[in-house]
Every structure is written in structure tokens, then in C-alpha cells.
Amino acid sequence: MPAAPHREVEHDIAIAAPPDAVYRLIADVGNWPQIFGPTVHVERVGGADAWERIRIWATANGTAKTWVSRRDLDPGARRIAFHQERSQPPVGGMSGEWVIEPLGGDRCRVRLLHAYHAVDGDPDGLAWIDRAVDTNSRAELGALAEHAELAHAGSADGPLLTFDDTVDVDGHAKDVYDFLNEAGSWDTRLPHVARVSLEEPDPGLQILEMDTTTRDGGRHTTRSVRVCRPHTAIHYKQIQVPALMSLHTGSWLIGERAEGGVSVTSRHTIRINEAAIGTVLGGGASLTEARGFVREALGANSRATLGHAKAYAEERA
């Protein structure tokens, strides 16, 4: 039987930032959801200094996928090789490498290599992977360049904001988790949610779309991919965001308290879309005002959700 057809492709980009700094951005998977558009959440599940196993949740061609990869890290050569240990159809197997090459001064070239094949050599599956790899590689390299160059210029944190809201609950982690996990019922449980649609293509992997009302009576639609980890956390990334944001990732974190009950935190990381500040907030609005506006708007909704989750869990304690 002939071998299944496979592809070997390469994408690259020149970046105006030091090669070692760019290598560190790629090596630290904890920051990937804030850098790479397709990446929803990443967890390190094993490894040592020179290698690691990671589970990645990401979007591809508009669908949500998860897989486990092994990475071999070589900081001296600025190379990171990877291969998927558990691919998801239509991917039959995939491997590749990040290669960072100095260009002189504070500049480098990043090459992103992929080799892959489809399950059972299916040509339609291979075409699907071709599109996903090309789309995601171009998006990831562009986002990496933007983030690295802003960081090198000392301005990466200007439009970026991370904040928490926390509430203590005299109840059980499972009940809090159930309230947050059952987002398909939020339109009847949360006053600021006007419409909700929840899909769960795989256990623990959700697509949540909802219309949220604002204090002035307006309404905006968001669409998120959620990674649900009973009964400790739900991590999400909005793939359709309001105009004032170019990035929104978040987590619901549930931890046991020594004195009993649980502590529940809503964490947001957002990037302000600076080009939209004038349109959304008025021509004289500043980045500082935009940061404050988003912090209060998201925080108010999070605190409302936390309050209802607290009441739900304490009624069942």
C-alpha cells in the first residue's frame, strides 16, 4: 500500500526584535493565548528542562480542536521542534519546528515549518489541513512580530490590561463550577445576558455565543471558546470581541479555602483596540480612559456573575 500523501511547508517573517527575546516568547507557552489568535489555552502536562509535553486548545478553520504535543527546546540554537502525540481528525499526524535566525542588530527571521498528513490519506482532509496551517501560520507569525516589536519598543503593556475580581463562597466547588459551566442557562440566570447559545463539540470544550446588555441599554455580541476543567477552572478566549478590544482572554478560577468554602476569581486579560477609542468613547478619549472603561464594564458583569454563582452554591450548601 502506498504511503499516505503528506505535506512539508514553511512560513517565515522578519521581526525587528532581538532573536533571544523572540525565542523566549515562543518557548513560554503560558503567554500564547495573549499572543496567538488561534490559541485558546495551553497547559504543560509533563517534561524536563530540554523537553515538554503540552496540551493545546485552539481554533482551526472556525472549529475548536485540542491535541497533545511534545516539544524539544534548544535555546542555544534558538530552535523548538514539536510533534503532535495525539492529533485530531482530519489530522493524521503533524510535526514541525520554530527556527529563529539572527539578521544582525536587533532583528531576526522566524521560520515556522510543518510536516503533516491526513487520516487515511483523505484528500479532502489534507486540503482542510492545508488551509488551517496556512491561515494559522500567517496569523501566528504576524501576531508574534507585532507583540515582539512592541515589547522591544517598551510599549507592549500599554494597551494590555489584566485584572481580577474575587468572591468568597460558603459552598462547594462543584456547585460554583456547575453554575459557570452551564452557561447555556445564563439568559435566565443573569440579568445582563439577553441571549445565549452553547455548543459542546467535545466534553469540556464549549463554544459560547451571547448577547450582553450594557448599562446604557446597548447590546453587544461575543463568541468564545471555553476549556472547562471540573471543578477548578474554566478558561476562555473570545473569538468575536466588542469593537474596543482586539483581545480578550479570561478564566474562572475556583480554589478551596482553608477555613471552608471556596474562593472564586474572574480573571481578564484584554488588549485595547486603540484605533477604535475615538469611535467608541469619543474623539478626545485617551488610552487610560479606555482601559478604565473596559475594566469597569467587564468587572461589573463579572461581579454580577460571581454574585449569582455565590447565591446558587450557598443555596445548595
pLDDT tens series, the chain, 317 aa:
445 578 999 999 999 999 999 999 999 999 999 999 999 999 999 998 899 999 999 998 888 989 999 999 999 999 999 999 988 899 999 999 999 999 999 999 999 999 999 999 999 999 999 999 999 999 999 999 999 998 888 765 688 899 999 999 999 999 999 999 999 999 999 999 999 999 998 899 999 999 998 777 778 899 999 999 999 999 999 999 999 999 999 999 999 999 999 999 999 999 999 999 999 999 999 999 999 999 999 999 999 999 999 999 999 99
Shared domain for 86 and 110, answered yes or no, is: yes
Determine the Cα–Cα distance for residues 92 and 84; give it in Å rounded to an integer. Answer: 9
Q: What is the pTM of this model?
A: 0.90
Shared domain for 206 and 117, answered yes or no, is: no
Determine the Cα–Cα distance for residues 199 and 22; give it in Å rounded to an integer. Answer: 36
pLDDT for 1 equals 41
In a domain, 1, yes or no: no
The CATH number covering residue 106 comes to: 3.30.530.20
Shared domain for 123 and 236, answered yes or no, is: no
Determine the Cα–Cα distance for residues 127 and 139; give it in Å rounded to an integer. Answer: 18
User: DSSP string of 228-279?
Assistant: EETTTEEEEEEEE--TTEEEEEEEEEEEE-TTSSEEEEEEEEEEE-GGGHHH
Which structural domain, as residue segments, surrounds residue 305?
160-315
Task: Show which of 123, 152, 181 is a domain's final residue.
Answer: 152
Indicate the number of domains in the chain.
2
Instruction: Pick the closest to residue 249 from 235, 234, 230 (CA basis).
Output: 235
